[in-house]
Structure 1
Amino acid sequence: MLHTLAWGSLFFPGLFALSTWALRRARPEWTYYDCLMISTRLVSSAQAVLATGSGIIIIFHCKDVVSDRYWLAREYVWFLVPYMVYDTYAMYLCEWYRTREQNRRDSRTIFRNYLSKNRLMITHHVVILLALVPIAQKLRGEQGDFFVGCIFTAELSTPFVSLGKILIQLKQQHTLLYKVNGILTLTTFFCCRILLFPFMYCSYGQQMKLSPFQVPFRIPFFCNVANVFLIAPQIYWFSLLCKKAAGLFDTPPAEKDG
């Protein structure tokens, strides 16, 4: 555990610092804030790739979805803890430099802006650290590695979300790449963050010879409650993505009239 925490504590801040340094060297015309923001998204994408890969490996190694064990299900959670702490600080650092470039240095204003702009993501990180980590590491006992692996694969959409934000930052919303990436974002988000939950219920039902409709009544009540809390923000974020996608392919009024 301690070794994994130590490696995570070195890997994510180190990758962030290296990415920022490399971007400053490669694009000296960019502001420091631009480099920081892109670096945070690169690190988020790297974490997402590692989490998704770990999840797929766990899923394929757990033939019995209830009792089979695989070491990555516990170790990657410890690797994820430093990322959550790093990402919370990185978001604040970005806000600090953004405000600094606007010549507003009041620390209270910066902190209020930080909380206001990132309240959903901060809440997400706090819930993971204070609730999901204890559940994944202790409270679930010796069962459920398969389902932990499934949760890890929810990160598959993150690199596409990050690329979309980078393209917006670089003012490339008009490009074909941005539109294709938008479609991939919606597809991966829907499959790995919405359909993931029916998949887990169906997998359990198949293991226990139950129909998917029987599963919610045969598993512990707190499992259903936990899944509701997990899927609720995903549905909200997916609705936001759909709204953006609806405007993505809108034809400008001038073109419609022409």
Structure 2
Amino acid sequence: MAPPGAALAAGLLFFPGLFLLGRAALGRAGVPGPHATILAARLVSSVQAVMASTAGYIISSSCHDDVIDDQHWLAGVYPQFAVPYFIYDIYAMFLCHWHRGQVKGHEVAPPPSLRAAAGSYLRKDLLMVLHHAAMVLVCFPVTALWRQGKGDFFLGCLLMAELSTPFVCLGKVLILFQRQHTTLHKLNAVALLVTFFLCRVLLFPYLYWAYGRHRGLPLLGVPAALPLTYNAAAAALLAPQLYWFALICRGSWRLFRPPAAPRQPP
């Protein structure tokens, strides 16, 4: 067994280290600084998502017989390893925001002060920052302390919600290089739509169904059988997913809708 805190320390080194290594490698390859920063940040997010989804699949597939009491060692280790990612990513998202104007070729200079940059960053990405903060301040303590070794199956399913993240990152990279009208971008948009819907929206009804199957309850009877705090927590987790899914649907509609017919002159 690894000593307590070893996974946390490994995460503290791994995610910022991978970002710095990726940015340096891209810089040596001739990629401009702003592009290198954004690409390195997307790389780290994709790597974390693949690792989380893989760990989640291993945990959930190993604990499906008894969704309450079955355990897998990764359920205790991976959340510790991953929590530094959410702290690092708040800063990485800020760097991406800082450089985005230069990358897109805007004539506007970066914000003149750290305070102005932080203000514009929070106005644009407040929901994501709050999501990351909740993962660190609420979800991690619940996962590490409050569960007391129960519900590894549900934790594994929640980790698999990250499966859509690489498609989010690829879409942003394609837009970064002005490839948003390519076939690859359209295929990626479909993959994002499907994975986000399955792994983040349908995830919560599936978790209720799995608990109901374990308890011998119909799906519609599960909310009444759970404490109010459980239902409130599920609703709080689902709400931003529905908001982001609506944004994805709107973006997909804009991408796939037929071009408007040109107006005929009078």
For residues 147 and 21 of structure 1, what CA distance do their matches in structure 2 show?
38
Name 1:70's counterpart in structure 2. 72
Whichever residue aligns with residue 118 of structure 2, its letter is F
Instruction: Please list every run of 5 or more consecutive structure 2 residues that lacks an aligned counterpart in the other structure.
Output: 103-107
Q: Any unmatched runs of 5+ in structure 1? A: none
Question: Is 2:182 aligned against 1:161?
Answer: no
Change (3 A) 1:98 1:173: closer
Identity, % of aligned positions: 45
* 1:214 aligned counterpart, secondary structure: helix
1:98-121 CA distance string (max 9 Å, x none)? 578825432221121221222111
Whole-angstrom CA distance in 2 between matches of 1:190 and 1:256: 37
Partner of 2:27: 24
Query: In structure 1, how many angstroms separate the alpha carbons of the residues matched to 2:94 and 2:250?
Result: 27
Larger mean Cα displacement after TM superposition, 187-196 or 219-228 = 219-228
Q: Structure 2: how far apart are the matches of 1:150 and 1:213?
A: 20
Q: Distance in 1 between matches of 2:187 and 2:114?
A: 40
Q: Is the 8 A contact 1:147 1:200 kept in 2?
A: yes
Equivalent residue in structure 2 for 1:205, among 197, 202, 212:
212
Structure 2 CA distance for aligned equivalents of residues 176 and 53 of structure 1: 28
Q: Is residue 55–residue 150 contact of structure 1 (8 Å, CA) maintained in 2?
A: yes
1:131-170 to 2 correspondences below 5 Å = 131-170=138-177
Where do 4+ consecutive residues of structure 1 move more than 3 Å? 95-101, 254-257
Task: Name whichever of 198-207 and 52-61 sits farther off.
Answer: 198-207
Asked if residue 127 in structure 1 is aligned to residue 134 in structure 2, the reply is: yes
Alignment counterpart, residue 84 of structure 2, candidates 82, 96, 118: 82
Counterpart of 1:48 in structure 2 is: 49
Distance 1:130 1:250, change over 3 A: same
Q: Quickly say closer, same or farther: Cα 1:98–1:253, change in 2 above 3 A.
A: closer
C-alpha change, 1:208 and 1:148, in structure 2 (3 Å) is same
Per-residue CA distance 1:17-64 (angstroms, 9 max, x = gap): 1111222222x2x43111111111111010000000000000111120
Q: With structure 2 as the length reference, what TM-score do the two structures score?
A: 0.91
Partner AA of 1:189 in structure 2: F
Q: Which deviates further from its counterpart, 104-113 or 36-45?
A: 104-113
The answer as to whether partners of 1:99 and 1:105 remain within 8 angstroms in 2 is no
Residue 156 of structure 2 aligns to a residue in which SS?
helix
- Corresponding residue of 1:12: 15
TM-score by length of 1: 0.93
The one-letter amino acid of 1:86's match is Y
Q: Is the 8 A contact 2:99 2:110 kept in 1?
A: no
Hey, what's the Cα distance between the residues in 2 that align with 1:41 and 1:255? 38
Q: Distance in 2 between matches of 1:40 and 1:122?
A: 15
After superposition, the Cα gap between the structure-2 partners of 1:143 and 1:98, relative to the gap in structure 1 and judged at 3 Å, is same
**Aligned position for 2:105:** none
- How far apart are the structure 2 equivalents of 1:256 and 1:57? 56
State the Cα RMSD in Å: 1.8
